[in-house]
Structure 1
């Protein structure tokens, strides 16, 4: 009886160990709509049900918060839609014109979408004639959702040409 129970327990453990999802993610903050700011406090982020915040600091504490700079290329509609999440059905939150400079901070798993930070008013990023410091051109201590003074969102990577990074 004990041997049968022990064998059944081992079989259960082996089955569990071979299950589909064994991936550990650091996106707990993202999934619960919370973010950790640089001071270590946790704050509630108010976003739509399908919004996915742009993450910064993915390269680690020795690299800039956003590691690349890109320039918006031509889009079929005349302006590139900025969406609240990396998929076509997400809410459109802004539009960018060709030539607009953006920080590329993160990418979707399939590389089809860039998570960007940009200064809509000046048309350029800080350090390249921009008037606003978006706070992403220097390192941050840990990965986190962007909550700075500039705008952020998701664009199709096909329409952004990387110019520095």
Structure 2
């Protein structure tokens, strides 16, 4: 009996010693980097080291680069912060007023953040907005690179108006 227990505990220790350790990261910017760039090639950074570019073309080449249009709703502070990445501690890069029209191009995995493209000069009048280049299809998924601004906002404060 004692030999069996001793052998079993040695087997458990040997198995534990041989098992491979894996590191799991809770940092969204770090853990998502491989998914966005599996080849390891360098891409343009929006702002700061923890920035995450807004991706367009996620619906494929038969759909508009950004598939939805939204309008900024009321926020406690009166304006909605636009961040450089989809998490609370990301750098604030702009703010939007209620009624501002935005293109919704992508979402975070947990649906709490929208990756948006917007023309701040147009305000709530989408008809006066410059062509941000997201109302027609693009060949492949890619990071948005202008001429309008882009960033991440809390999805709770954006109301879908077209999609």
Rounded Cα–Cα distance in structure 1 between residues aligned with 2:67 and 2:128? 17
- Cα deviation for residue 131 of structure 1 reads 3.6
Rounded Cα–Cα distance in structure 2 between residues aligned with 1:155 and 1:77? 14
Which residue number corresponds to residue 147 of structure 1? 145
2:89 equivalent to 1:89: yes
| Structure index of larger Rg | 2
The runs of 4+ residues in structure 1 deviating greater than 4 Å are: 29-33
2:26 equivalent to 1:28: no
- Cα deviation for residue 47 of structure 1 reads 3.0
Higher normalized helix content (fraction of residues): 2
Aligned residue runs from structure 1 range 1-165, under 5 A: 27-28=36-37, 33-34=42-43, 44-45=44-45, 47-124=47-124, 128-165=126-163
- Aligned Cα root-mean-square deviation (Å): 2.4
Higher normalized strand content (fraction of residues): 1
| SS of equivalent to 2:156 | helix
Rounded Cα–Cα distance in structure 1 between residues aligned with 2:113 and 2:153? 6
- How many residue pairs align between the two structures? 135
Runs of at least 5 residues in structure 2 that lack an aligned partner in the other structure: 1-18, 25-33
State whether residues 53 and 145 of structure 1, in contact with CA within 8 Å, keep that contact through their aligned partners in structure 2: yes
Give the alignment's TM-score, normalised by structure 2: 0.75
- Cα deviation for residue 144 of structure 1 reads 0.3
* Closer, same or farther: CA 62–26 of 1 in aligned 2, 3 Å: farther
State whether residues 46 and 52 of structure 2, in contact with CA within 8 Å, keep that contact through their aligned partners in structure 1: no
